């Protein structure tokens, strides 16, 4: 059962972010003055959390307010926000047993930095079956989950892949084939076979379907990961790649064929007209740098892509982290990942 909470916060941005917490049940609108907090607590005996900022006006002092709150409800958790760092104020609040103390200036900076760091919002991942494409999608999910991002995973394959089914069984999640939607938790949604366009649909209408799909979801999530399978509609595949911020092409020694790589390199030239991002990321998964496939792909893609050789999951995470942060990368002669200064 979610804890009940009340807020007495002057900063509107801070208040908005506090109220995004789905694990807390907020009762009452934001309280505008100190004395009103006491009145509400006397009526509502089961409130578990109170969020207070120091600039909430009132006749009584902050110390008097906190002491009064503690007398009314000994178990209540008090989360207090100071405008900026002040050791004296912090010490006083700790003495009167305020549970948590935060600085609004620091939080505002964090919000700004988070907005700056959200680059490459739409990431398309394409590859042949068993190339490691779905592994990369899953590792991206893991990395983003740890960073508390709201994520949408779109799987464009006509059949839901075994890797995803294993993930769902492991997490004990039921899914509905008719709705083609799975809610993993408050931060992650998963749709499969979501773009179904009848063959007779006109070209202009097809384009609008894909654009509207992206426009609809982009407002709701920090990141959209799009898993493009071999059996995805060819037009949809090209439109998704065109509208993505980052395009990751995954292959291994056998499964990303030379013909397919040539086609991708050719398509990327078309895609460049519509995108600021002029490079695709080609990941050669678990192959030797001396393999014929790797050398040919390197030659074909040299003007269209950055190519990386992956050894294990740690290499994946390192590379994907750099990609998400929007950092420029290069590879040395041994094909190890290296940050470009």
Q: What is the CATH number of the domain that holds 73?
A: 3.40.50.2300
The Cα–Cα gap between 330 and 338 comes to 6
> Looking at residues 267-279, what average pLDDT do you find?
50
Tell whether 107 and 229 lie within a shared domain: no
- The residue out of 57, 83, 113 marking a domain boundary is 113
111-139, pLDDT tens digit by residue? Answer: 455 544 445 578 888 776 666 677 777 77
Tell whether 250 and 195 lie within a shared domain: yes
What are residue 192's phi and psi, to 5 degrees? -125, 150
Tell whether 164 and 304 lie within a shared domain: yes
Of 186, 191, 152, the C-alpha closest to 22 is 186
Helices assigned H by DSSP within the chain:
12-18, 34-43, 62-72, 87-95, 104-117, 133-146, 162-170, 203-218, 234-242, 258-272, 292-301, 313-324
* pLDDT surpassing 60 at residue 256: no
Tell whether 234 and 263 lie within a shared domain: yes
Tell whether 184 and 231 lie within a shared domain: yes
> Who wins on pLDDT, 29 or 312?
29
Tell whether 139 and 196 lie within a shared domain: yes
Tell whether 125 and 109 lie within a shared domain: no
> Looking at residues 257-279, what average pLDDT do you find?
52
The Cα–Cα gap between 338 and 326 comes to 14
* pLDDT surpassing 60 at residue 10: yes
> Who wins on pLDDT, 191 or 310?
191
The Cα–Cα gap between 218 and 212 comes to 10
60-80, pLDDT tens digit by residue? Answer: 999 999 999 999 998 999 999
Of 62, 67, 66, 99, the C-alpha closest to 83 is 62
pLDDT at residue number 193: 46
Helix (H, G, I), strand (E, B) or coil at 28: coil
pLDDT at residue number 61: 92
Please report, for the domain that includes residue 286, its CATH number: 3.40.50.300
Neighbours of 271 (CB within 10 A): 20
Given a contact cutoff of 8 angstroms between Cβ atoms, the answer to whether 334 and 289 are in contact is: yes
pLDDT at residue number 217: 72
Tell whether 64 and 202 lie within a shared domain: no
Report the number of distinct structural domains present in the chain. Answer: 2
pLDDT class for 210, splitting at 50, 70, 90?
low
pLDDT class for 152, splitting at 50, 70, 90?
confident
Q: How far is CA 178 from the centre of its chain?
A: 26
Neighbours of 36 (CB within 10 A): 15
Q: Which domain holds residue 254?
A: 118-339
User: What rounded mean pLDDT belongs to the chain?
Assistant: 67
Listed in sequence order, the residues at least 6 apart from 293 whose beta carbon sits closer than 8 Å to its beta carbon are: 251, 253, 254, 256, 258, 284, 287
Tell whether 144 and 105 lie within a shared domain: no
- The residue out of 113, 141, 176 marking a domain boundary is 113
Neighbours of 223 (CB within 10 A): 22
Radius of gyration over alpha carbons of the chain, in Å?
Answer: 26
Tell whether 327 and 218 lie within a shared domain: yes
Tell whether 130 and 244 lie within a shared domain: yes
Neighbours of 256 (CB within 10 A): 26
> Who wins on pLDDT, 138 or 281?
138
Listed in sequence order, the residues at least 6 apart from 12 whose beta carbon sits closer than 8 Å to its beta carbon are: none
- The residue out of 113, 146, 166 marking a domain boundary is 113
Listed in sequence order, the residues at least 6 apart from 320 whose beta carbon sits closer than 8 Å to its beta carbon are: 136, 139, 140, 143
> Looking at residues 218-241, what average pLDDT do you find?
73
Percentage, residues of the chain above pLDDT 90 = 18
The Cα–Cα gap between 327 and 321 comes to 9
> Looking at residues 276-294, what average pLDDT do you find?
49
Tell whether 213 and 272 lie within a shared domain: yes
13-49, pLDDT tens digit by residue? Answer: 888 888 887 778 898 889 999 999 999 999 998 999 9
pTM for the whole thing? 0.47
Instruction: Name which of 55-59, 169-173, 190-194, 334-338 the model is least confident about.
Output: 334-338
pLDDT at residue number 41: 93
């Amino acid at each position: 059962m979610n804890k009940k909470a009340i807020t007495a916060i002057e900063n509107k941005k801070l208040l908005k972010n506090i109220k995004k917490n789905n694990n807390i049940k907020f009762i009452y609108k934001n309280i505008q003055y100190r004395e009103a907090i006491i009145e509400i607590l006397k009526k509502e005996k089961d409130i578990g959390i109170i969020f207070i900022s120091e600039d909430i006006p009132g006749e009584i002092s902050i110390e008097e307010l906190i002491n009064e709150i503690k007398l009314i409800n000994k178990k209540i958790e008090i989360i207090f926000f100071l405008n900026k760092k002040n050791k004296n104020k912090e010490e006083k609040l700790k003495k009167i047993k305020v549970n948590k103390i935060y600085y609004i200036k620091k939080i505002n900076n964090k919000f700004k930095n988070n907005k700056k760091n959200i680059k490459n919002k739409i990431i398309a991942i394409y590859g042949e079956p068993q190339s490691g494409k779905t592994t990369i999608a899953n590792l991206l999910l893991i990395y983003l989950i740890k960073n508390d991002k709201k994520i949408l995973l779109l799987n464009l394959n006509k059949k839901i892949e075994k890797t995803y089914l294993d993930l769902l069984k492991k997490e004990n999640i039921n899914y509905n084939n008719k709705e083609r939607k799975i809610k993993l938790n408050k931060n992650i949604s998963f749709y499969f076979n979501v773009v179904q366009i009848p063959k007779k649909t006109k070209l202009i209408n097809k384009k609008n379907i894909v654009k509207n799909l992206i426009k609809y979801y982009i407002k709701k999530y920090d990141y959209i990961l799009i898993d493009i399978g071999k059996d995805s509609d060819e037009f949809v595949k090209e439109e998704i790649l065109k509208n993505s911020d980052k395009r990751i092409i995954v292959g291994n020694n056998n499964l990303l064929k030379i013909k397919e790589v040539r086609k991708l390199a050719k398509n990327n030239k078309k895609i460049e007209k519509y995108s600021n991002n002029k490079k695709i990321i080609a990941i050669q998964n678990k192959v030797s740098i001396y393999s014929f496939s790797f050398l040919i792909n390197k030659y074909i893609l040299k003007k269209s892509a950055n190519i990386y050789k992956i050894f294990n999951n740690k290499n994946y995470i390192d590379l994907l982290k750099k990609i998400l942060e929007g950092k420029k990368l290069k590879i040395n002669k041994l094909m190890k990942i290296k940050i470009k200064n």
